[in-house]
Amino acid sequence: MKICLACDRRFESADWRCPHCGASPAGGLSPSFPTFQDDIGASFPAGAASQLELLEARSFWFRARNDLLIWVLSRYFPDATSFFEVGCGTGFVLAGVRSKLPDLRLEGGELDAEGLNVARRRLPDVPLYRMDARLIPFEDEFDVVGAFDVLEHIDEDELVLRQLAQAVKPGGGVIITVPQHPRLWSASDEVALHRRRYTRHALHAKLARAGLDIVRMTSFVTLLLPGMFLNRMRARSHEDAMRECALPATLDQWLEHTMDLERWLIRAGLSFPAGGSLLAVARTRKG
């Protein structure tokens, strides 16, 4: 079901023109929806999305996170037919999901216009929207909704969680990843324009207040946490932080193998209590 952000009324339609008030988002087949006045997407520097596009395929972290998320979708939501990614960035996750789960109907929303243009090139046949995660124009629409390293960019993270719960069908799934451990705060977080890092308790409480029941919660980037901690503590500048993303190929491959082992342990049922990132799998309460 779609929500008109002009009159706040619900409707079912093949297009986005509201039958109640006649409002229609800009952009035709690729709508651009109203946003909050504090357009957080404007805070990313010009060219950031193009740099991220080059980095993602070369970085063990992005590849390993994709593999983990695809496993979560297959393991916990095997009957899902639709998946919506909020804050889809350059489309790297959606492209990975499509390559492994081609029968899943995909849609995505992203506030940053440059990132969205990259995603559209990667996924020309996937509906993508310029959209504020705090104003999601869907209700009871998708089997699963995901937001991957999105919440930490937004002051109103609990509002975003309520919007995610609204967009998914009753009993449907919500998948979240966030950076973990406030003590790991460093120049890398400043480069990424983070507002916070999370504790397990804080994320659990915020998901519960949004009406979401936890199915599985585990840290990841756990086996690499000691090295990550030392590297973050040494990072004193943005240049230091960026070097973490440009590793030699041999080291990058070794780190990916370590993440593969970690994912095998998670698949075997182990939930890590600590790690560089935190994964939460939840379901909405059935109406």
> Model confidence at 205, in pLDDT bands (50, 70, 90)?
very high
Domain ranges in the chain? Answer: 62-284
How would you label 96-120 residue by residue, b for 16+ Cβ within 10 Å and e otherwise? bbbeeeeebebbbbbbbebbbbbbb
* Alpha-carbon dihedral sign for residues 136, 170, 179, 155: positive
Q: Residue 43: is its pLDDT beyond 80?
A: no
At 14 the pLDDT is: 84
From the list 34, 62, 44, the residue with the least C-alpha distance to 117 is: 44
Q: Which two tokens stand for residue 101?
A: 């789960």
Average pLDDT of the chain?
Answer: 90
**In the chain, pLDDT over 70 holds for what percent of residues?**
92
The CA distance from 171 to 140, in Å, is 10
H or E element in which residue 231 lies: helix 225-234
Model pLDDT, residue 233: 72
CA distance 201 to 22: 44
CATH topology of domain 62-284: Rossmann fold (3.40.50)
**Model pLDDT for residues 85-96, shown as the tens digit of each residue:** 999 999 999 999
Tens-place pLDDT, residues 164-199: 999 999 999 999 999 999 999 988 888 888 999 999
pLDDT of residue 243: 61
Alpha helices of the chain — where are they, by DSSP H?
A: 48-58, 60-76, 92-100, 113-122, 157-167, 187-191, 200-209, 225-234, 238-243, 249-267
